[in-house]
Structure 1
Amino acid sequence: SLQEFVFRQRIRLIYRDLARIVYRSHEKDELMRFVRDEFRMNSLETDINHRRYLLNLGISRINDMIRVMGI
Protein backbone atom coordinates (compact mmCIF):
# COMPACT_ATOMS: atom_id res chain seq x y z
CA SER A 1 0.00 0.00 0.00
CA LEU A 2 1.02 3.62 -0.39
CA GLN A 3 1.01 4.12 3.36
CA GLU A 4 3.43 1.21 3.83
CA PHE A 5 5.68 2.49 1.04
CA VAL A 6 5.89 5.98 2.54
CA PHE A 7 6.56 4.53 5.98
CA ARG A 8 9.42 2.35 4.69
CA GLN A 9 10.94 5.37 2.93
CA ARG A 10 10.80 7.31 6.19
CA ILE A 11 12.52 4.45 8.03
CA ARG A 12 15.30 4.34 5.42
CA LEU A 13 15.89 8.07 5.74
CA ILE A 14 16.08 7.82 9.51
CA TYR A 15 18.48 4.87 9.27
CA ARG A 16 20.77 6.85 6.97
CA ASP A 17 20.65 9.89 9.24
CA LEU A 18 21.41 7.68 12.22
CA ALA A 19 24.37 6.10 10.42
CA ARG A 20 25.77 9.57 9.74
CA ILE A 21 25.39 10.50 13.40
CA VAL A 22 26.97 7.26 14.63
CA TYR A 23 30.00 7.60 12.37
CA ARG A 24 30.81 10.95 14.02
CA SER A 25 31.31 9.23 17.39
CA HIS A 26 34.32 7.39 18.78
CA GLU A 27 32.33 4.22 19.54
CA LYS A 28 31.01 3.90 16.01
CA ASP A 29 31.49 0.14 15.59
CA GLU A 30 29.57 -0.74 18.74
CA LEU A 31 26.85 1.86 18.14
CA MET A 32 26.32 0.84 14.52
CA ARG A 33 26.07 -2.82 15.55
CA PHE A 34 23.39 -1.83 18.07
CA VAL A 35 21.49 0.19 15.45
CA ARG A 36 21.57 -2.67 12.92
CA ASP A 37 20.41 -5.18 15.54
CA GLU A 38 17.51 -2.94 16.58
CA PHE A 39 16.38 -2.41 13.00
CA ARG A 40 16.64 -6.13 12.21
CA MET A 41 14.81 -7.16 15.36
CA ASN A 42 11.91 -4.83 14.63
CA SER A 43 11.80 -5.44 10.87
CA LEU A 44 9.52 -8.44 11.38
CA GLU A 45 6.80 -6.34 13.01
CA THR A 46 3.70 -6.15 10.80
CA ASP A 47 1.31 -3.93 12.77
CA ILE A 48 1.68 -0.42 11.32
CA ASN A 49 0.62 1.28 14.55
CA HIS A 50 3.21 -0.60 16.58
CA ARG A 51 5.83 0.15 13.93
CA ARG A 52 5.00 3.85 14.20
CA TYR A 53 5.34 3.62 17.97
CA LEU A 54 8.75 1.93 17.59
CA LEU A 55 9.85 4.58 15.11
CA ASN A 56 8.86 7.43 17.42
CA LEU A 57 10.58 5.68 20.33
CA GLY A 58 13.71 5.30 18.23
CA ILE A 59 13.67 8.95 17.22
CA SER A 60 13.42 10.04 20.85
CA ARG A 61 16.32 7.70 21.76
CA ILE A 62 18.39 9.17 18.93
CA ASN A 63 17.71 12.69 20.16
CA ASP A 64 18.67 11.68 23.70
CA MET A 65 21.88 10.10 22.42
CA ILE A 66 22.78 13.21 20.44
CA ARG A 67 22.17 15.38 23.47
CA VAL A 68 24.24 13.17 25.81
CA MET A 69 27.12 12.69 23.37
CA GLY A 70 27.17 16.32 22.35
CA ILE A 71 27.10 15.50 18.65
Structure 2
Amino acid sequence: IDDAKGHTIAAASTLEKDLKGSLKTGADTAAAVAIGKLIAERASKAGVKEVVFDRGPYIYHGRVKALAEAAREGGLSF
Protein backbone atom coordinates (compact mmCIF):
# COMPACT_ATOMS: atom_id res chain seq x y z
CA ILE A 1 0.00 0.00 0.00
CA ASP A 2 1.31 3.42 -0.90
CA ASP A 3 0.20 5.43 2.14
CA ALA A 4 1.01 8.78 0.54
CA LYS A 5 -1.27 8.11 -2.44
CA GLY A 6 -3.74 5.84 -0.65
CA HIS A 7 -3.26 3.22 -3.37
CA THR A 8 -2.92 -0.56 -3.08
CA ILE A 9 0.04 -1.67 -5.19
CA ALA A 10 -0.12 -5.42 -4.57
CA ALA A 11 -2.40 -7.68 -2.54
CA ALA A 12 -3.02 -11.40 -2.01
CA SER A 13 -5.58 -13.45 -0.09
CA THR A 14 -6.28 -17.09 0.66
CA LEU A 15 -9.84 -16.41 -0.49
CA GLU A 16 -8.74 -16.03 -4.12
CA LYS A 17 -10.06 -18.81 -6.35
CA ASP A 18 -6.59 -19.90 -7.51
CA LEU A 19 -5.33 -20.38 -3.96
CA LYS A 20 -8.50 -21.50 -2.21
CA GLY A 21 -8.65 -24.80 -4.07
CA SER A 22 -4.98 -25.64 -3.57
CA LEU A 23 -4.80 -24.99 0.18
CA LYS A 24 -6.03 -27.32 2.90
CA THR A 25 -6.95 -24.29 5.02
CA GLY A 26 -6.32 -20.58 4.84
CA ALA A 27 -5.16 -20.41 8.44
CA ASP A 28 -1.90 -22.36 8.62
CA THR A 29 1.78 -21.82 7.84
CA ALA A 30 1.45 -23.42 4.39
CA ALA A 31 -1.14 -20.78 3.48
CA ALA A 32 1.10 -18.03 4.88
CA VAL A 33 4.00 -19.27 2.73
CA ALA A 34 1.79 -19.28 -0.37
CA ILE A 35 0.61 -15.73 0.35
CA GLY A 36 4.19 -14.56 0.99
CA LYS A 37 5.37 -15.93 -2.35
CA LEU A 38 2.37 -14.51 -4.20
CA ILE A 39 2.67 -11.04 -2.69
CA ALA A 40 6.39 -10.97 -3.53
CA GLU A 41 5.62 -11.96 -7.12
CA ARG A 42 2.92 -9.32 -7.50
CA ALA A 43 5.02 -6.60 -5.88
CA SER A 44 7.92 -7.46 -8.19
CA LYS A 45 5.65 -7.17 -11.24
CA ALA A 46 4.57 -3.74 -9.95
CA GLY A 47 8.22 -2.67 -9.65
CA VAL A 48 8.37 -2.82 -5.84
CA LYS A 49 11.42 -4.43 -4.28
CA GLU A 50 11.54 -2.84 -0.82
CA VAL A 51 8.63 -2.70 1.63
CA VAL A 52 7.84 -2.06 5.28
CA PHE A 53 6.51 -5.18 7.00
CA ASP A 54 3.98 -4.12 9.64
CA ARG A 55 3.07 -7.16 11.71
CA GLY A 56 0.80 -5.11 13.95
CA PRO A 57 0.25 -6.62 17.41
CA TYR A 58 1.33 -10.11 16.29
CA ILE A 59 4.63 -11.59 17.45
CA TYR A 60 7.14 -12.58 14.79
CA HIS A 61 6.40 -16.31 15.03
CA GLY A 62 4.42 -19.02 13.23
CA ARG A 63 2.30 -17.76 10.32
CA VAL A 64 3.67 -14.20 10.48
CA LYS A 65 7.24 -15.49 10.32
CA ALA A 66 6.38 -17.94 7.51
CA LEU A 67 4.78 -15.19 5.42
CA ALA A 68 7.73 -12.83 5.96
CA GLU A 69 10.35 -15.47 5.10
CA ALA A 70 8.49 -16.53 1.95
CA ALA A 71 8.21 -12.89 0.84
CA ARG A 72 11.95 -12.44 1.39
CA GLU A 73 12.69 -15.60 -0.58
CA GLY A 74 10.47 -14.19 -3.32
CA GLY A 75 12.69 -11.12 -3.57
CA LEU A 76 11.14 -8.53 -1.27
CA SER A 77 13.42 -6.61 1.04
CA PHE A 78 12.26 -5.29 4.41
Q: Which TM class, normalised by the smaller chain length?
A: 0.3 to 0.5
Q: What's the TM-score once normalised by structure 2's chain length?
A: 0.34
- Using CA pairs below 8 Å that are at least 6 residues apart, which structure has the higher relative contact order? 1
Q: What's the TM-score once normalised by structure 1's chain length?
A: 0.36
